[in-house]
Amino acid sequence: MFTLILGYNIIMKKNDYHHGNLKEEFLKIAFDFIAHNDIEKLTLKILSDATNTSRSAIYRHFKSKDALIETMIIEGFEAFDAAVSPILRESDRPLIDRFYLSGKHYIAYAQNHPNLYRLLFGNKYAHIREEIMNLHDERCSGFSALKQAIEEGQKSGIVKKKESFQQAVVVWSSLHGLASLIIDSFLDIENNYEQFYDAMFKSLLSGLVTDKVKLLSILPFTERVLTPTTDIS
């Protein structure tokens, strides 16, 4: 899994560069580049210039820009998944809290890595993405963990017993839509997106939970049953 190195110096002196794991070095440079620039501006020449290596050295690891993009998509999804899935799998945390907190982390990740997010979910490289992974892939930005959490909720009587894959798609598509609106500054909601997230969460939760849980939530002594007790950390 890659590590995003913010502030990495793209221009390196030849004497300062050490040939270790060259493929990983190329990937670090590529991920750092798209942290500050559009993916379309990334070229193999940028990698060779940054490392003072020949184009043939790059071709030994990446035969083309598409080959580089393919690896970036795989590692990008793995990193995204690592930011979201562990929260959904915290069995000692209440399920409602896990749903709420993982959604906040999902949006925060998109905010912190907007160009990477566009690479992972945009149309430009969809043909590459579709060849290497889909929503059934466990690495896919927490989708598998979300589906498993929904199934856990079904077994415990919290979530309606419907097709869990379909339920997960509804939740994920809502998160994706809000994240996209935020990073593309649509409707100027970036600065107050949390109120939109909370409203969306309540709506999604209302559609997920059983009628029994809804009934419990309106009783005075259980009024917080559908209210998350945690926030993003």
What's the chain's Rg over C-alpha atoms? 21
Q: Domain locations in the chain?
A: 14-59, 77-222
Residue 103, classed as helix, strand or coil, is: helix
Beta bridge partners of 209: 159
pTM (predicted TM-score): 0.80
Q: Which helix (H) or strand (E) holds 167?
A: helix 164-183
**Tell me, which fold does domain 77-222 have in CATH?**
Tetracycline Repressor; domain 2 (1.10.357)
CATH code given to domain 14-59:
1.10.10
pLDDT of residue 99: 94
Per-residue confidence of the chain (233 residues) as pLDDT tens digits?
443 333 333 333 333 344 458 899 999 999 999 999 999 999 999 999 999 988 888 888 999 999 999 999 999 999 999 999 999 999 999 999 999 999 999 999 999 999 999 999 999 999 998 888 765 555 566 889 999 999 999 999 999 999 999 999 999 999 999 999 999 887 677 677 888 899 999 999 989 988 877 655 544 444 455 678 765 44
- Predicted local confidence at residue 220, as pLDDT: 46
* Residue ranges with strand state E in the chain: none
Write down the pLDDT at residue 70. Answer: 94
- Of 33, 9, 23, nearest to 53 by C-alpha is 23
Beta bridge partners of 159: 209
pLDDT at position 161 is 94
Containing H/E element for 44? helix 44-51
| pLDDT at residue 20, rounded to an integer | 52
| Per-residue pLDDT, 212 | 78
